[in-house]
Amino acid sequence: MTFGRRYGPPSVCKELLGKNTRTDPMIPDRRTRETGSGSALCSAAVSRAEVGVYVHIPFCERVCPYCDFAVVGVRELGAAQEQRTIDALLRELEGRRADFAGRTLASLYFGGGTPSLCRPESLARLAVAVHAAFPSVGPVETTLEVNPSSLERERLPGFRAAGVNRVSLGVQSFDDGVLKRLGRAHRADEARRTLRACREAGFDALSLDLIFAAPGQSLGQLEADLAETLEFGPEHVSAYELGIESGTPFATAAARGQLALPDEDLALAMFDAIEAALTAAGFEHYEIANYARPGFPAVHNQRYWRRLPVLGLGPGAFSTDPTAAETPFGVRRANLRDHAAWLARIEAGEAPEATPPERLDAPTARAEAMFLSLRTRRGVDAAAFAGEFGRPPRAFFEVAIEGLLAQALLRENAAGDLQLTGRGRRLSNEVFGHFVGGVS
């Protein structure tokens, strides 16, 4: 998952959105269990009696040159390395489950990295342990990130038997030239074969990832990607503009003038083309980078936009702990990114956190409620916001709201609810900066 120049998350809150799920820093969940895809996204409006669990498995056959996630390149994942990591994840779960005691399981997400490099039996062990820690009421959306490869195709029936019921496939493009320039390990025919194999294995909830504004990519190439995407009929599509992240090979190449990215006008035209093609085909544009057929918005990712409890396990994973009397806006935790360091802490019986837990204060929570809710089609529910923070959004962000309304980046109804306009969606980072950059 990558984040774009216009509508990715501001860096100060990037961790809230996205690499506790691949679907790019925007993160939705499939069958909106809590209040439906059109419901208010402020936390006061939604039940907090559940927990979503994100499991980060960091291994990748190849580290893409645009990727800044917590990953480890392995040509082949050895059985001993896999078992040691799974054992550590189980120990971390056991050490953290008490912080989420009494909650039922809303969603389980295996992300990475490439978690499908693990054997189905390993993921089954994790799934059984998570369900034992947090008993569920009814079916649980269980997502597995998969990259197109023959090894992973062969394992799909085993993953289905292990309890996975939703696959998120990192196609990125159906154009071999685009894939090569992105540094991807697969080619388009592998993606096509893997998409067909997902259906043959019985998966009826399939999410497909696309990247746009890639080096050398034309509007025509993107339109061809969209046409082929629709031919395969996924239930969900995530479309991310390529972001240039500090410290990556792409960032180095860009600094040297060696990376030919589409200009801003072309990138905006691509964003518009994606929205037009997918909405015309019956998808709901329910979050800036995410589109779903009716009944299929991502369940897990919506927990991030709604600021609901998520337990993150593994290197680089983020958690949002439940609220309590002494922490009314919750606590955020970030694990060490380095796999070896994370392992060492877990095996020593120590907490694997990179920094002390962050106790969220009211100004931070208000700012995050604004920008995370605005990412969604529903936007900010003023009554729900007032229910949580005592007063409606204008009481804290009057100047910002008036300025954004004047620029036609926001719309407001008589109840004070706020949504991005079409122009606001295209320039959403500019909008979000008014709330995150100036915490009130």
pLDDT truncated to tens, each residue of the chain (440 aa)?
333 333 333 333 444 444 443 333 322 222 222 323 333 333 333 345 999 999 999 999 989 999 999 999 998 899 999 999 999 999 999 999 999 999 999 999 999 999 999 999 999 999 999 999 999 989 999 999 999 987 889 999 999 999 999 999 999 999 999 999 999 999 999 999 999 999 999 999 999 999 999 999 999 999 999 999 999 999 999 999 999 999 999 999 999 999 999 999 999 999 999 999 999 999 999 999 999 999 999 999 999 999 999 999 999 999 999 999 999 999 999 999 999 999 999 999 999 999 999 999 999 999 999 999 999 999 999 999 999 999 999 999 999 999 999 999 999 999 999 999 999 999 998 999 999 865 45
Q: Is residue 309 part of a domain?
A: no
Q: Out of 269, 287, 304, pick the residue that ends a domain.
A: 304
Indicate the pTM of the whole model. Answer: 0.90
Distance CA 206, CA 229 (A): 11
Using an 8 Å Cβ cutoff, are 9 and 26 in contact? Answer: yes
Q: Out of 263, 279, 304, pick the residue that ends a domain.
A: 304
Q: Residue 191: which domain range? A: 11-304
Distance CA 212, CA 240 (A): 6
Q: Out of 267, 287, 304, pick the residue that ends a domain.
A: 304
Whether 271 and 395 share a structural domain: no
Whether 189 and 286 share a structural domain: yes
Helical H segments across 139-238, by residue range: 150-161, 176-182, 188-200, 219-232
Q: Is residue 343 part of a domain?
A: no
**Over 408-440, what HEC string results?**
CCEEECCCCCEEECHHHHHCHHHHHHHHHCCCC
Q: Is residue 336 part of a domain?
A: no
Q: Which amino acid is at 338?
A: D
Q: Is residue 21 part of a domain?
A: yes
For the chain, the domain total comes to 2
From the list 39, 62, 28, the residue with the least C-alpha distance to 240 is: 28
Whether 63 and 171 share a structural domain: yes
